[in-house]
Amino acid sequence: MTIRKIILTSILIVLTSIGWSQTSSKEDQDIYNIINQLTEEEKVSLLHGFISNNKQKRFESGGIPRLNIPPIKMLDGPVGLRDFDKNQHTTALPSTLALSCTWDTIAVRNYANVLANEMVSLDKQVLFGPGINLMRSPLGGRNFEYMGEDPYLTGTLANVYIKELQKHNIAGCAKHIVANDIDGLRHFISSKLDERTLRELHLFPFENVIKDANVWTIMAGNNLVNGKHVAENTTILNSILRDELNYDGIVVSDWRAAYTPLASFVGGLDMSMGICAYVYGNGDLLKLVNNGTIKHKALNDRVFRVLKLYQRTGLLEKKNNKKPFKVNTPEHKKVALETASQGMVLLKNENKLLPLKVNDYDKIIVTGPALNHVAFGKGSSRVDSEFSLTPLAGLISTYGKNKIIEIADIETVDKKTLNTYETLKYPVLYFAEGGQGSEGHDMKTLVLPNNQSESIKKWNKKFSTAVIVQSASAFETSSWETDTDAILSAWYLGQSAGDAIAQVLSGQTNPGGKLSFTIAKNLNDYAPHALDTWPPQAIINPAPIKASFKAEERFALHGYDMDYKEGVLLGYRWFDTKGIKPAYEFGFGLSYTSFKLSDFKVEVKNSNKENPQIHISGKITNIGSVSGSEVIQVYVSDLQSTVIRPTKELKAFNKIKLAPNESKIFSFNLTKEAFAFWDVQTHGWNVEEGKFVISIGTSSHQIKHQDIVNLD
């Protein structure tokens, strides 16, 4: 063998030892070249955040100064960037829950575009969002950060969100894997769920964004799954994400999700951040590498993934040209306003009280605790916005100050004045507020706080009343809605809440939002409450209450169990299958116009259950007098299943906007995914032969057409 061949063979052996193969791309080889130049200390430094009391520093990690590689910078921001520079106001967008109620992929793309532009402007690379946990109970503290109760809707919208971010070299971060749907006591709660419930529902959106959007980062939740913290859970992070789904991005810890270096490393965690930056950053991980407990190749594999993220976000390139600074621009403010308008859901509109057009009434009475308040979620999604337009400010801007009669409470108005207002038939706009949504806490009840239901009923007795609710989640309506003429769900709408609400109330904008979750008549109608699995059950005494921020006081603890006894019957699946009538069903939402669906066709292009191809088409016409939008929803039911399946499951949707008298053709193609369930015998997706019902409608209950197809 020649000297040249010996040298080349030696290089090949070295490169192979760190994971290189002869089929590696040039981009991968560039990363291996960097790894070859790193010391073990430098490699470990790429796997953790900075251990610092400076909050901004906690959102940075790694960097190799001697190779001119900067640290990677991360930021909270599922609903707007939580920048720590108090002099720089970013755009406070509507909550992700409001975004999901648009059912509109174009709205989602515009929303994510704002986030991407502002991330680029602030020189950040990883956005911690979107949140894609499912709403299991309406009491979940972070429901406002998520996208409702349905895995298909969540996964579809999240794909658009992440693709738009990553188009701008901003890494999306799908969070919080997995079944992290209760926030109080989250560090000690084990989500106990079977394989099918995990795969069909709670893991489905994560699988979706891996396969379709190729998401670059995923955040491990603080919770446990089946007795093991997610950051140490090799079944979730290694067996499923890496081995089965071929996920090639990184798994980053939530701020207090990791505990010990060996368990976290073996479990599949790539990067420890925030409060638990010390897990990989205090020298213990380096010791494990140096003493051979963790193999050098295993360390190199992690470093490769992290540097791949650096490469994807452009940090390995030599940047000379600065991007234009785009934060809270007029275009961004417009998107915030439009999304807020589109995300509201009109639940009730008796006697067509709404819209209240500017010239319809001489005076409008406005009242309620949220009239002078814009509701925001607390925690990591709180945005320091430049302004917050209250409902009152929006109403004054739209109707004029002289038309508005502001009343603090009906009890404060003398009877004579009240009777005069009643005789003149002034309408009432009551601005209500639901329980506070927040990271780290859950709500206790669906009932509107501070006796608002009694106040609403008093107004209902004398006036035509519209109730506008700013809320983090579902809320109870049964006790006060009987005599209420209109109900508008406004969620958390961000900085332009007041203008958006006024536009919808006045008819400048036609509400087109649809519920991304079910609003029940009673809390106990929801599966976790009906089955008495919420709140979680303490399994040790004393049960832990609060997780420490101090490294020396932190240790992994399994203190509570949360049983997912409902299985695959989550949300509307539970209500429909059990025959429980909700107050307002999944997919529901009214408009100021009317639509007609017709000319339905369901064509079986291929009936083979291994590769089914079902084509659906029809026509929708706006038969009203104003422009508006409708969401066509397609549900699938299995009539001959050998396992328990929901009565129906959402498998396709499309939001269509139409002018008066305009018609459009809609179409869908259903493939294997629409008919499959997770088979615990084969540990994979399976379609059984037999009859399936295809339901086409405008909500889970408003079904306009059904057809039966046979798969064989």
Kindly list the averaged pLDDT for each block of 10 residues, start to end, along the chain of length 712: 48 48 78 97 97 85 95 92 81 97 98 97 96 98 98 98 98 98 96 98 98 98 98 98 98 97 98 96 97 97 98 86 81 98 98 95 97 93 90 98 97 95 97 96 97 98 98 98 97 98 98 98 98 97 93 95 98 98 98 98 97 98 98 98 97 98 98 98 97 98 98 96
What total of structural domains would you count in the chain? 4
Which amino acid is it at 664?
A: K
56 three-state secondary structure: coil
Q: What is the side-by-side strand order in the sheet with 595-606? A: 595-606, 613-622, 663-670
Nearest in space to 469 (alpha carbons), one of 484, 483, 458, 140: 484
Q: What is the side-by-side strand order in the sheet with 649-658? A: 649-658, 628-638, 690-697, 703-711
Point out the domain boundary residue: 506, 538, 564: 506
Question: How distant is the alpha carbon of residue 292 from its chain centre?
Answer: 41
Specify the pLDDT at position 52.
79
Question: How distant is the alpha carbon of residue 347 from its chain centre?
Answer: 22
Question: How distant is the alpha carbon of residue 337 from its chain centre?
Answer: 19
194 domain-assigned: yes
Specify the pLDDT at position 322.
65
- What gap in Å lies between CA 167 and CA 422, rounded to an integer? 56
β-pairing, 126-128 with 72-76?
parallel
6 domain-assigned: no
Specify the pLDDT at position 657.
98
Query: Do 354 and 228 share a structural domain?
Result: no
- What gap in Å lies between CA 414 and CA 122, rounded to an integer? 54
Specify the pLDDT at position 3.
53
569 domain-assigned: yes
Specify the pLDDT at position 384.
83
How large is the C-alpha radius of gyration of the chain? 27
Question: pTM for this structure?
Answer: 0.96
302 domain-assigned: no
β-pairing, 613-622 with 595-606?
antiparallel
Query: Do 450 and 550 share a structural domain?
Result: no
Query: Do 214 and 145 share a structural domain?
Result: yes
Query: Do 428 and 569 share a structural domain?
Result: no
CB atoms within 10 A of CB 44: 26
Point out the domain boundary residue: 237, 269, 295: 295
Query: Do 527 and 501 share a structural domain?
Result: no
Query: Do 114 and 192 share a structural domain?
Result: yes
- What gap in Å lies between CA 39 and CA 679, rounded to an integer? 46
- What gap in Å lies between CA 243 and CA 33, rounded to an integer? 26
- What gap in Å lies between CA 450 and CA 458, rounded to an integer? 15
453 three-state secondary structure: helix
Look at phi and psi of residue 274 and say left if phi exceeds 0, alpha if psi is from -120 to 50, else beta: left
Taking the C-alpha atoms of 554, 557, 559 and 561 in order, what is their torsion angle to the nearest 10 degrees? 130
Domain containing residue 458: 332-506
Specify the pLDDT at position 321.
57
308 domain-assigned: no
CA distances (Å), origin 630, targets 355, 624, 659, 707: 18, 12, 11, 21
CB atoms within 10 A of CB 319: 10
CB atoms within 10 A of CB 136: 27
Query: Do 628 and 546 share a structural domain?
Result: no
43 three-state secondary structure: helix
Query: Do 277 and 147 share a structural domain?
Result: yes
512 domain-assigned: no
Query: Do 689 and 562 share a structural domain?
Result: no
Q: What is the DSSP secondary structure assignment for residue 373, as one 8-state letter?
A: -
Which amino acid is it at 11?
A: I
Query: Do 568 and 620 share a structural domain?
Result: no
Query: Do 470 and 565 share a structural domain?
Result: no
608 domain-assigned: yes
24 domain-assigned: no
Point out the domain boundary residue: 479, 506, 533: 506
Look at phi and psi of residue 95 and say left if phi exceeds 0, alpha if psi is from -120 to 50, else beta: beta
Query: Do 536 and 438 share a structural domain?
Result: no
Where are the extended beta strands (E) located within 178-245? 189-192, 217-220, 224-225, 228-229
Specify the pLDDT at position 7.
47
- What gap in Å lies between CA 568 and CA 130, rounded to an integer? 23
Q: Which residue has the tokens 């001119």?
A: 68
